[in-house]
Amino acid sequence: MRSRSDGGRPDPENKNTGNAPDGLARPIAIVAIAQLFGTSLWFSANSAADGLMRAWRVGAGEIGWLTNAVQAGFILGTLAMSLLGIADRFRASGIFVASAVAGALSNAGFAWLAQDVHSGAFFRFLVGLSLAGIYPIGMKLVVSWEPERTGQALALLVAMLTLGTALPHFLRFTGEDLPWQWIVTCSSLLALAGAWTIHRLGTGPHLPIRPMTDGTARPSVLSAFGIGQFRAAAIGYFGHMWELYAFWTVVPLLVASTGLADRFPAAGVAGLSFAIIGAGTVGCLIGGALSRRIGSDRVALGALAVSGGCIGIFALGWPILPPAVLMGVLLIWGASVVADSPQFSALSARSCPKDMVGGALAIQNALGFAITIVSIAGVMALFERIGPAAVWLLLPGPAAGLFGYWRVGRRAG
């Protein structure tokens, strides 16, 4: 079936079309489900942290290295996508499918071929490279289908990213007696299902493919940072990223070290970690609905302020707060810590030219994830010294994001 324009007529000028069949779910829902399956690769190793630490005789710091190997691969991949123009010169659906298949194979290699942290980090690095063609390209797929509802559509997409991040903890919770290799392999099977889904859907009709060359010079993707509104959104996004992945990485340790797993034994560390990280799915969906009423900027800044407040409450209160209250703080933190992400991305996508959207989002992702390497390494090292109070290290992210967005946005406006 041919893709159609907004008016319902075939669009013969646009070769970058999808083949979403009538009668199936809306394309955004399909992309979101594929994103859920593909991004389950991200923290598949963290869900198996207890088994890995026993099998390889390593501590929490070494598990942090595995996470940072994924981040490093993702950064290199997104830099290549943006600086080489790959994200805007090839069909988004084709990039997504190839990346999901490569990620599934690399993740399976980690499960069955890695023998120690060093070999494991190599396979996790390859997973990160593959995720560069899943997460930012998934955002471009959303824009290609729903350019007029970017904030709400990206909120659904990031909600699925969040649920995908939490999913390995759920698999660990439900398959507690299974070897860790099988838990990790489940994420590979889900990624293959996501690849098949996007292969069937294709790319939407609303974004052009940039020609490889047409004889005219094109601006560098870095020129997007010359646009005041893009720069303001990027600064807010970078502050958010300082906090987000370090928080997701340390959640199981916070649950275990504060005694919450003992107070809620039916859920345990895996079940509570799934609930806390998965709360971000609800946060993203609520934020997406609110963005239609009050705007993406207010939703993003509000969520950033709430998550920053949760850092302070948790850091001060974890030794004295009742377990139920402490768990409530973590759930609110989990919901707010990611709710700003799709809104900052929507603001960035709206502020730059259409033929630069893929590259601009990819370079923003690359720089944001470079920041996560520092914050993850820092919070994991500090946690081994001072325990849960290490979350104080995350507070500069929301603070800098709020101040930077206000200052740069005021000048750009």
Q: Which CATH architecture has domain 27-209+223-412?
A: Up-down Bundle (1.20)
Which residues are registered as beta bridge partners of 367? none
pLDDT of residue 302: 97
Banded model confidence at residue 57, pLDDT cuts 50, 70, 90: confident
Paired tokens of 177: 């007696």
Which H/E stretch holds residue 208? Answer: none
- Picking from 115, 127, 119, 110, the residue whose alpha carbon sits closest to that of residue 70 is 127
Structure tokens at 403: 């101040």
Q: Higher confidence at residue 363 or residue 395?
A: 395
Q: How many CB atoms lie within 10 A of CB 200?
A: 16
The average pLDDT across 375-399 equals: 94
Q: Which of 241, 244, 248 lies closest to 337 in space, CA to CA? A: 244
Cα–Cα dist 5/130, whole Å: 31
C-alpha distances out from residue 189 to 1, 186, 281, 288, Å: 28, 5, 22, 29
If one compares 201 and 209, the residue with the highest pLDDT of the two is 201
String of DSSP letters for 113-133: H--SHHHHHHHHHHHHHHHTT
pLDDT at 403 over 60: yes
Percent pLDDT > 70 in the chain is 86
Asked whether the predicted pLDDT for residue 22 surpasses 90, the reply is no
Give pLDDT, residue 166.
Answer: 86
pLDDT value of residue 21 = 43
- Structure tokens that stand for 272 in this block: 């509570």
Span 68-81, pLDDT tens digits: 899 899 999 988 88
Q: Which of 112, 123, 107 is nearest to 72 (CA)?
A: 123
Q: Within 10 A of 392 (CB to CB), how many other CB atoms are there?
A: 16
Least confident of 107-121, 130-144, 258-272, 368-382: 130-144
pLDDT for 307: 97
Q: Are 114 and 126 in contact (CB under 8 A)?
A: no
What pLDDT score does 161 carry? 82
Helix, coil or strand: residue 295: coil
Residue among 254, 272, 256 at smallest CA distance from 391: 254
DSSP string, 129-163: HHHTTTHHHHHHHHHHH-GGGHHHHHHHHHHHHHH
Quote the pLDDT of residue 8: 36
pLDDT higher than 90, residue 375: yes
Residue 218 has a pLDDT of: 58
**pLDDT over 70 (residue 390):** yes
The confidence score (pLDDT) of residue 104 equals 97
Joined tokens for residue 46: 């963290």
pLDDT above 90 (res 14): no
The pLDDT score that the predictor gives to residue 408 is: 84
Give the residue with greater pLDDT, 214 vs 79. Answer: 79
Q: Is 183 exposed, middle or buried (0-12, 13-18, 19+ CB in 10 A)?
A: buried
pLDDT in tens, 313-337: 999 999 999 999 999 999 999 999 9
- 24 falls in which pLDDT band (50, 70, 90)? very low
Q: Mean pLDDT over residues 163-192, rounded?
A: 84
Task: Please tell me the predicted confidence (pLDDT) of residue 12.
Answer: 35
Dump pLDDT digits (tens) for 78-91. Answer: 888 877 878 777 88
Q: Of 118-122, 159-163, 379-383, where does mean pLDDT reach its minimum?
A: 159-163
What's the pLDDT score for residue 76?
A: 92
pLDDT > 90 fraction of the chain, expressed in percent and rounded: 47
Q: Confidence band (pLDDT; 50, 70, 90) for 176?
A: low
More confident residue, 208 or 191: 191
What CA–CA distance (Å, rounded) separates 40 from 193? 11
pTM above 0.85, yes or no: no
pLDDT at 113 over 70: yes
Q: What pLDDT was estimated at residue 17?
A: 45
Q: Is residue 47's pLDDT more than 80?
A: no
C-alpha 140/C-alpha 349 separation (Å) is 9
pLDDT of 257 over the 80 cut: yes
Quote the CA–CA distance of 392 and 317 in Å, as a whole number. 12
Is residue 156 scored above 90 in pLDDT?
no
Alpha-carbon dihedral angle through residues 162, 165, 169, 175, given to the nearest 10 degrees = 110
The answer to whether the beta carbons of residues 301 and 402 sit under 8 Å apart is yes
- First and final C-alpha spacing in the chain: 43
Q: In whole numbers, what is the pLDDT of the chain averaged over residues?
A: 84
